[in-house]
Amino acid sequence: MKSKNRLKEDLMETSRIGRNPPKVIKRYDQLDPERGIIRPTGSDANKKIRDFTVKRMEAAGLNVAVDEIGNIFGKRDGFKTSKGTVMCGSHLDSVVNGGMFDGPLGVFGAIEAVRRMNDEGIKNERPIEVVVFTGEEGSAFKQTLLGSSVLTGKTELEQALSMKNEQGITLDEALRNIGYKGVFKRSLDDVDYMVELHIEQGPILYREGLSIGIVENITGIVWIMATILGEENHAGTTPMKMRKDALVAASEIVSFINKRANEMVEELSSCTVGTVGRLNVFPNGTNAVPGKVEMGIDIRDVKQENMEILRTQTLEMIKGLEKKFGVETDVLMPVTHSPAPLSLEVADVIEQSARQIGINTKRMNSGAGHDSQNMASKVKTGMIFVPSVRGVSHSPMEWTEWKDVEKGIQVLTRALTNLSKL
Amino acid sequence: MKSKNRLKEDLMETSRIGRNPPKVIKRYDQLDPERGIIRPTGSDANKKIRDFTVKRMEAAGLNVAVDEIGNIFGKRDGFKTSKGTVMCGSHLDSVVNGGMFDGPLGVFGAIEAVRRMNDEGIKNERPIEVVVFTGEEGSAFKQTLLGSSVLTGKTELEQALSMKNEQGITLDEALRNIGYKGVFKRSLDDVDYMVELHIEQGPILYREGLSIGIVENITGIVWIMATILGEENHAGTTPMKMRKDALVAASEIVSFINKRANEMVEELSSCTVGTVGRLNVFPNGTNAVPGKVEMGIDIRDVKQENMEILRTQTLEMIKGLEKKFGVETDVLMPVTHSPAPLSLEVADVIEQSARQIGINTKRMNSGAGHDSQNMASKVKTGMIFVPSVRGVSHSPMEWTEWKDVEKGIQVLTRALTNLSKL
């Protein structure tokens, strides 16, 4: 098979795993907005794509090992044994009803880079290790970035293994069930670099007509889960002055966060985003004054201080609704990730590598979380983005043009080669 | 049985019909917010309460007949046969998970009034006819006020009988199944007055510590079902400037309607109410920019011109969101009822009747719809309200104090007596 088609074939082959009914997708116009990929950690589909991947790794000459949290490693030795390893990879699990590129592109991209180094007889000085992280999406076991959290020591192995999915099965059992509870104990002491190829999942490269983004920072995330308790009443019989309408109060939060995030982008030239993505009204009848609203608020920025500004102002604003509307409010903050700056050294290597093969790049931030943000706390880490058509991801309509996939793999192959020589 | 306890016993006895498991409720503290009454038209529970009611009517000496839409009539002859009938009654069907007073109070109140006239040897000059209307709530067959709409000629009999419930059964079949597809053809040509005793379903009497309200107007209703179509995107990766957030746009509608309705109450001393009671977000994930919002808007006033002001301004405001936020909007108006002024003559009779027995009253409007608004188009119609504890109705927690029930029945009995002599 021509090297240009191998990665495409791998992605097309795995595009059927976890789709119901299974269907191979070759082109954008074959996507069905109702039929995405469901491939949570521990599922049959997760086992199938892991088995397929291990075969491809072995065929590429990699030595495969599985660690105790189910992360898969495929090693190609370097010829200078004193130098630390360059890791490269991503994840194979998916969100519920997701797309075919989020994760697999980075795994099969890393395998394809090794295959091209084989084809071209490139000798890597440092060992190169393809990595598949367990449970990046948090779709089965509810912590995101799980495999990389254990690998980098942010989460205890035992704690992670005892987490349960919605069926009440522990991660330990789930990994045993699919044959991926390994014994390999991987430390990062001998690892110097990490590179992850991924789709952007946003609209920037697509709108600017660029093929390659180089990530400088992964944004931090704060989630605020707010509950507004008003008073449920009949919409016809309750005079305006006697209401405690939870939705009227909640709507001010939606407007406030949107307005403040936009102002911060203007005033601070920041990449701040603030979103109310989830909002549930109770009892939710056209003729009932809403008695309760539950909402999920998402705040992100690459600068911790900007996140703090918007978080603090939002919490103050929510508290202020109690006096203004006579409602009660309650907030939880179940998710807090600090912003993760990636390695500028690795970014420079990626940029030089792209320039060597005549491909334009753009420095940018990642608004989505990735295993690379965990890895960045231990080793020098970089990310390569390729464009998402219309900026769509976490959706059956997720797509990246094959020409951009090819450019991504060319830059990745060159960057791995260059990193291995540092 | 003492007359004071008979109505209470009827309401307690029927408080178990349609409740799962059946449970007789005697006091407020026996109510369970999870276990209300489900008694839609055509259900077994609906048959049971109809059978019970017919027995009570016959025991009170009434001649019972059922018309072709299942309305039940129980007649007590007057001794001056040239005078037109006074009708009095309400409905027996319920909303899903409703309370025990909404409807039955007016039916058993009318029967109890007749029993007291029997006890006291009161001779009515006009015939008095207790009426039970079919399908007031629209909980099985989706048109509200169905029995009175057919009786008053607003809806064709054949059209009503061919309506289907969620199980695909026509109203004609449903009425036959429970034995209430009658043959009586009731016209309103010989009817002069109608009185309905009902719970207020709002907080006004309860907050003011009054037992009796006299209704002057039933508000009109406009429902606007609005859909806002934006662009679903990843909340982390989509810059603020590249968004079309459907919830941000929808929130402005919620705020606008609340603000304008409040302003109209101030400026026009109107009873305008404007509510967004239903709001659904798609895809409704904390990390997703909302792509679509569906909302249900309820506007009511006793003055048509005020409803028109708020409807027109709301529709203009929604249209304006298209330019402001780049979203698409769509509106449907599935429900439009004009305001129904009731008879001031009947209101005066009710007020005088209450005064004769030393009970204070308050003139007010009804923010909820009732069969009386249909009847008012054909005969002189009045309504008597008793307080709803905390203003709660259409809920398992619906309650009216027994002392207020007793005052309601005293005023109703006196008013029927007085009306029959006009």
Q: Do B391 and A366 touch (CB under 8 A)?
A: no
Q: Do B287 and A298 touch (CB under 8 A)?
A: yes
CA distance B409 to chain A (A): 22
Q: What is the pTM of this model?
A: 0.88
Q: Which pLDDT score, from 0 to 100, does residue A89 have?
A: 98
Distances, alpha carbon A139 to alpha carbons A56, A145, A328, in Å: 25, 11, 32
Tens-place pLDDT, residues B212-248: 999 999 999 999 999 999 999 899 999 999 999 999 9
Residues A141 and A69 sit within 8 Å (Cβ to Cβ): no
DSSP of A276-341:
EEEEEEES--TTEE--EEEEEEEEEESSHHHHHHHHHHHHHHHHHHHHHH--EEEEEEEEEE--EE
Tens-place pLDDT, residues B371-387: 999 999 999 999 999 99
Tens-place pLDDT, residues B267-313: 999 999 999 999 999 999 998 999 999 999 999 999 999 999 999 99
Q: Which domains does chain A have, with CATH numbers?
A: 3-219+339-420 (3.40.630.10), 220-336 (3.30.70.360)
Spell out which residues of chain A touch residue B296, defining contact as CB-CB under 8 Å.
285-286
Region B122-151: mean pLDDT is 95
Residue-level length of chain A:
422
For residue B345, which amino acid is it?
E
Tens-place pLDDT, residues B178-189: 999 999 999 999
Spell out which residues of chain B touch residue A331, defining contact as CB-CB under 8 Å.
none
Banded model confidence at residue A335, pLDDT cuts 50, 70, 90: confident
Distance in angstroms (rounded) separating the CA atoms of residues A105 and A388: 12
Spell out which residues of chain A touch residue B226, defining contact as CB-CB under 8 Å.
none
Q: Do B286 and A279 touch (CB under 8 A)?
A: no
Distance in angstroms (rounded) separating the CA atoms of residues B266 and B203: 19
Region A148-171: mean pLDDT is 96
Please check whether residue B369 touches A, CB under 8 A. yes
Tens-place pLDDT, residues A390-400: 999 988 999 99
Banded model confidence at residue B1, pLDDT cuts 50, 70, 90: low
CA distance B252 to chain A (A): 7
Please check whether residue B276 touches A, CB under 8 A. yes
Please check whether residue B207 touches A, CB under 8 A. yes
Q: Which pLDDT score, from 0 to 100, does residue B358 have?
A: 97
Region A45-56: mean pLDDT is 98
Q: Do A219 and B240 touch (CB under 8 A)?
A: no
Q: Answer yes or no: is pLDDT of B87 > 70.
A: yes
Q: Is B26 helix (H, G, I), strand (E, B) or coil?
A: coil
Q: Which pLDDT score, from 0 to 100, does residue A1 have?
A: 63
- Window 389-408 of A: residues touching B by CB (8 A cutoff) are 391-395
Q: Do B258 and A245 touch (CB under 8 A)?
A: yes
Banded model confidence at residue B315, pLDDT cuts 50, 70, 90: very high
Q: Is B130 helix (H, G, I), strand (E, B) or coil?
A: strand
Q: Which pLDDT score, from 0 to 100, does residue B81 have?
A: 82
Q: Which residue of B has its CA nearest to A257?
A: B248
Tens-place pLDDT, residues B14-58: 999 999 999 999 999 999 998 999 999 999 999 999 999 999 999
Beta bridge partners of B88: B130, B195
Q: Which pLDDT score, from 0 to 100, does residue B240 have?
A: 97
Tens-place pLDDT, residues A223-276: 999 999 999 989 999 999 999 999 999 999 999 999 999 999 999 999 999 999
Banded model confidence at residue B334, pLDDT cuts 50, 70, 90: confident
Distances, alpha carbon A263 to alpha carbons A259, B136, B237, in Å: 6, 51, 18
For residue A66, which amino acid is it?
V
Task: Give the torsion sign (CA, A48, A49, A50, A56).
Answer: positive
Tens-place pLDDT, residues A127-151: 999 999 999 999 899 889 999 999 9
Return the residue in A139, A241, A287 with the most chain B beta carbons within 10 A, the one to mutate for interface testing: A287
Q: Do A248 and B254 touch (CB under 8 A)?
A: yes
* β strands within B290-399, DSSP E: 292-301, 328-337, 340-341, 361-366, 380-386
CA distance B364 to chain A (A): 11
